[in-house]
Amino acid sequence: MKETKKLHSGYNLMTAITMIVGICIGSGIFFKADDILAYTGGNVGLGVLLLSIGAFSIIFGSMTLTELSVRTSSLGGLVGFYEVFISKAFANGFGWFQTFVYYPTINVVVAWAAGIYTVMLLGLEMTLEYQILIGTGYLLLMYAMNYGFKQIGGWFQVLTTYVKLLPLLSIAIIGMFQLAPVTTVATSETSVLQSVGFSFLAGLAPVAFSFDGWPIATSISNEVKNPKRNMPIALTIGPLIVLIVYVTYFLGLTKLLGIEHILAVGDQAIYDVGNIIFGAYGGKLILVFVIISVLGVVNGVTLGHIRMPYALATKKMLPNSEAVKIMNDRRQLSPRSFKISLYTSLIWMTIHYLTQKLGLLATGDVSEIAIIFAYLCYPILYVYVMKLYMKKEIKSHFKGIIAPMLACIGSGIIILGGIMSNPVYMPVFIVLCGIVFYQGYRFKRE
């Protein structure tokens, strides 16, 4: 093995697009429709508005980031952007936050979700231990696949994206032609639609989770063929596809089952609609699709995370960076970077298990620690793009002012919604993320 200064370009445009779509469309969209309806008092129009706000943030955010991606070939995705355009110390802090909090917390929670759905599919006792054990097994499987068989990891990302779109598009298309709701479960209690005022914005918390993960695709920018052409396209098309799928699915689901039915049965709604579309065993079949969908997210996050420590090491942003940046030429991956990612994820899986077992985070989970903090950091890059426009380095008024300004507004609304949804824990989460960020910031300053 020897240090490799340049990675081979192995991923094409389709892989980059499906990585964004595959990460965003995961467990959230299947099981968050009832939460969105609950926050909006059963108002479908407000639900569509919430989904649009979530997409609003990432569409204009990704459009803005394309102006940075074409101006640097630095490794590390967002970390590379912060390093080149903000400061090395800030980049180091954000890199530590992504590597040790953001990526692993999202990955372990999504893997845990795959474990939950598998327990449901197999008819096992719904215990936390079964869920965590199976989820950990899935996590290890994705790590093994991406370390031993890099191309298979890319192919799996494309495959799972297409597979997960099948039930979503089926529900969307069939629902659009449904004249009246079809209910398969008689409910003695139905939720009364009510006015919720501006508190509906708290529904942005489940929406943000459903859309989250799109910046992870920037971590493979230097491994995408012709990145200066393909990454801007992927970062624009991907979020648009996600928005279209989410809105049509949401409308189709509500037309098939009816608002009251969805509010009454909660997460079982996806099982019920599976029986309507696919027949007597449709509920089980839909769970198979959901599991494949969730594993696509785990694969995508893993694919991005295992490269983060290497990217930081190439910039001397980690202790013992010289060892971490040694590449295995055959695998085109740093073994130490892989191990750091794997061990960090396993540690967070243990923390996640303890917090769930002891009920330390109420109805939340460890992934909530990261999402809002990330949205606090993104606007710093958006503002820099506006500065480039003021310096006349960006000619387009839309790309240099309108898009980044709308991206900032979108991030601000999501932050507000996140705080409204969890006013007790969110400040604590932000402080925890800030501590990790500061340690990385201080390491580069020293």
Q: Model confidence over 2-37: pLDDT tens digits? A: 444 444 555 778 877 877 776 677 667 776 777 788
Q: What is the pLDDT of residue 364?
A: 65
pLDDT of 7 = 47
The helix or strand, by DSSP H or E, that contains position 107, with its residue range, turns out to be helix 103-122
Which two tokens mark 290? 């959901």
pLDDT number for residue 387: 95
In-domain check, residue 188: no
Return the top range by mean pLDDT from 68-72, 367-371, 411-415: 411-415
Q: What is the predicted pLDDT for the residue at 60?
A: 87
Mean pLDDT value across residues 182-187: 54
- Residue 1 domain flag: no
Residue 36 resides in a domain: yes
pLDDT for 113 beyond 90: no
Region 110-117 average pLDDT: 89
| CA-to-CA dists, residue 52 to 20, 244, 394, 414, angstroms | 17, 9, 27, 12
Distance (Å, whole) CA 54 – CA 209 = 9
pLDDT in the model for residue 261: 86
pLDDT (average), residues 235-254? 86
- Which domain covers residue 339, as residue numbers? 13-179+195-442
4 in any annotated domain: no
Whether 151 shows a pLDDT value over 80: the answer reads no
CATH number at residue 312: 1.20.1740.10
Is 276 part of any domain?
yes
Q: Is residue 2 part of a domain?
A: no
pLDDT of residue 3: 43
Beta-carbon contacts of 192 under 8 Å, excluding residues fewer than 6 positions away, are: none
Average pLDDT of the chain is 82
In angstroms, the CA 175 to CA 212 distance is 26
Contacts of 180 (CB under 8 A, 6+ apart): none
**Higher-confidence position of 361 and 310:** 310
Does residue 408 have a pLDDT over 80? yes
Asked if the model's pLDDT at residue 61 lies above 80, the reply is yes
Report the pLDDT value the prediction gives residue 75, as an integer from 0 to 100: 61
Confirm whether 6 is domain-assigned.
no
Total structural domains within the chain = 1
Q: Would 8 be classed as within a structural domain?
A: no
Is residue 80 within 8 Å of residue 311, measured between CB atoms? Answer: yes
In one-letter notation, the amino acid at residue 140 is L
